[in-house]
Amino acid sequence: MITLALSKGRIFEETLPLLRAAGIEVLEDPDKSRKLILATNLDDVRVLVVRATDVPTYVQYGGADLGITGKDTLLEHGSEGLYQPLDLQIAKCRISVAVRADFDYASAVKQGSRLKVATKYVAIAREFFAAKGVHVDLIKLYGSMELAPLVGLSDAIVDLVSTGNTLKANQLVEVEHIMDISSRLIVNQAALKLKQARIRKIIDAFAAATSAASSANSVLALSSRT
């Protein structure tokens, strides 16, 4: 049996075409079913539906053989025991620093004052500000980071940005781009040894589908320029 851990929402949606390319069809829609283990068209492949932040944990401890997780989640969790063969180029976004439009971030950073930063990404934020030599007080939140500067909980947030609409709707502005984010395929290292042939086949099919999608995208980009 091959077990793949996925989170509901954007990663699930964007993974379906890759699974299809590997000949795998998930038989139930996780938004309609309450089941946490979903069958596929293949008797020896099943999908676990877990919280996005729990995907690396399931794969690390062998609850799942493979998983798909954002680079953001992986960096926060750490990648011990995990083999990362592929950047799937899905669920793309960036991780940024944002502040209230009326907050003078440049001076706050220059003056060496302590910056209060609210984030779910404590490890990423700590490393980023340490490299800049900026002193920060980190406040751990689990969601809706955008609220923190609005009510004075923090001066800044470190959060994911995709269209920028959430920041705009809350009168926040992006002041630093920390890094680009996309989702990665992760594999349990012991499972890779024990079930090598089967897992290799899935990795290869995902790799082929990912490179086909990226060349289709570059053709689109070229044709939209003419």
Q: Which residue ranges make up the site for ligand PRT (CB under 6 A)?
A: 7, 9-11, 51-53, 70, 72-73, 91, 93, 143, 159-166, 181, 183
Q: How far is the CB of 84 from ligand PRT (least distance, A)?
A: 14
Q: How far is the CB of 35 from ligand PRT (least distance, A)?
A: 17
Amino acid at 146: E
For the sheet containing 115-119, what is the strand order? 136-140, 115-119, 156-161, 93-100, 172-181
CB 118 within 8 A of CB 148: yes
Nearer to ligand PRT, 2 or 93 (CB): 93
- Whole-angstrom distance between the N-terminal and C-terminal Cα of the chain? 49
Nearer to ligand PRT, 40 or 73 (CB): 73
Nearer to ligand PRT, 163 or 224 (CB): 163
Q: How far is the CB of 112 from ligand PRT (least distance, A)?
A: 29
Nearer to ligand PRT, 51 or 140 (CB): 51
Give the alpha-carbon dihedral of 69, 71, 75, 80, to 10 degrees.
Answer: 50
Determine the residue with CB nearest ligand PRT.
70
Residues 85, 87, 93, CA angle at the centre, nearest 5°?
A: 150
Q: How far is the CB of 133 from ligand PRT (least distance, A)?
A: 27
Q: How far is the CB of 196 from ligand PRT (least distance, A)?
A: 28
Q: How far is the CB of 182 from ligand PRT (least distance, A)?
A: 7
Nearer to ligand PRT, 16 or 190 (CB): 16
Residues 165, 7, 184, CA angle at the centre, nearest 5°?
A: 85
Nearer to ligand PRT, 121 or 195 (CB): 121
